[in-house]
Amino acid sequence: MSAIVSVIMGSTSDWSTMKETCAILDEFEVPYEKKVVSAHRTPDLMFEHAENARKNGFRIIIAGAGGAAHLPGMVASKTTLPVIGVPVQSRALSGLDSLLSIVQMPGGVPVATTAIGSAGAVNAGLLAVEMLAMTDETLAERLETRRENLKKIVLESSEKLV
Ligand SMILES: Nc1c(C(=O)O)ncn1[C@@H]1O[C@H](COP(=O)(O)O)[C@@H](O)[C@H]1O
């Protein structure tokens, strides 16, 4: 099956974060493509990727970037597919720069922004699966099961408080 989620990131250095997104998509067997694309370093590729994403069969774009993280917003400016932005934790400013660069989009061009770092990357994957589950009962059931398992783990964890 061809990819329906595009996972892009500004640099290979984002992979340790963005692989968490891909792990979720693997878990739910959602076909995806992963790629390094940068608004700053490869602007033409970024435009081309975003502009043709719908035509190429993608339904959601997940974009992770750190620092001056313009990638998610710029991609959103060139597509009407939903864009989920993941602020990668930067070394200099701990990801606050990434978060603020992604979250504060002007009205009319939305980016669904997650938390900074790995938790955000996990949630980006889950959010994408939730979007797809709106029209896919199997995915919806698997999301329910995952939530139930999470609840069980938390409930059982109380017993470890000795
Ligand atoms: N924020 C962006 C963009 C962009 O927004 O287009 N392109 C690369 N980067 C970010 O630069 C950081 C450092 O990259 P390097 O490790 O390659 O120097 C990465 O977190 C990347 O997402």
Residue 153: inside a domain, yes or no? no
Ligand 1, residues at Cβ distance < 6 Å = 10-11, 13-14, 38-41, 65-71, 88
Provide the domain limits for residue 63: 5-136
Q: What is the pLDDT of residue 48?
A: 98
98-135 exposure pattern, b = at least 16 Cβ within 10 A, e = fewer: bbebbbebeeeeebbbbebbbebbbbbbbbbbebbbee
Residue 47: inside a domain, yes or no? yes
26 is annotated as contributing to ligand binding: no
Q: What is the pLDDT of residue 121?
A: 98
Residues 6+ apart with CB under 8 A from 161: none
For a ligand 1 pocket test, name from 41, 71, 75 the mutation site with the most ligand atoms within 8 angstroms of its C-beta.
Answer: 71
Q: Give the model confidence (pLDDT) of 124-155 as tens digits.
A: 999 999 999 999 999 999 999 999 999 999 99
Residue 162: inside a domain, yes or no? no
Residue 161: inside a domain, yes or no? no
Alpha carbons within 13 A on the beta-carbon side of 24: 23
Residue whose Cα lies nearest atom 11 of ligand 1: it is 66
Q: What is the pLDDT of residue 125?
A: 99
Q: How far is the CA of 100 from the centre of ligand 1 (A)?
A: 15
What's the CATH number where 77 sits?
Answer: 3.40.50.1970
Residue 152: inside a domain, yes or no? no
Q: How far is the CA of 52 from the centre of ligand 1 (A)?
A: 22
Residue 60: inside a domain, yes or no? yes
How far is residue 150 from each of residues 19, 114, 155, 157, measured CA to CA in Å?
20, 19, 9, 11
Q: How far is the CA of 150 from the centre of ligand 1 (A)?
A: 33
Residues of the chain with confidence (pLDDT) below 50: none
Residue 84 belongs to what H/E stretch?
strand 83-88
Rounded distance between C-alpha atoms, residue 23 and residue 27, angstroms: 6
Q: What is the pLDDT of residue 138?
A: 98
Q: What is the pLDDT of residue 1?
A: 82
Residue 146: inside a domain, yes or no? no
Residue 37: inside a domain, yes or no? yes
> 3-state class of 6 per DSSP?
strand
Number of domains in the chain: 1
Q: How far is the CA of 129 from the centre of ligand 1 (A)?
A: 26
> 3-state class of 30 per DSSP?
coil
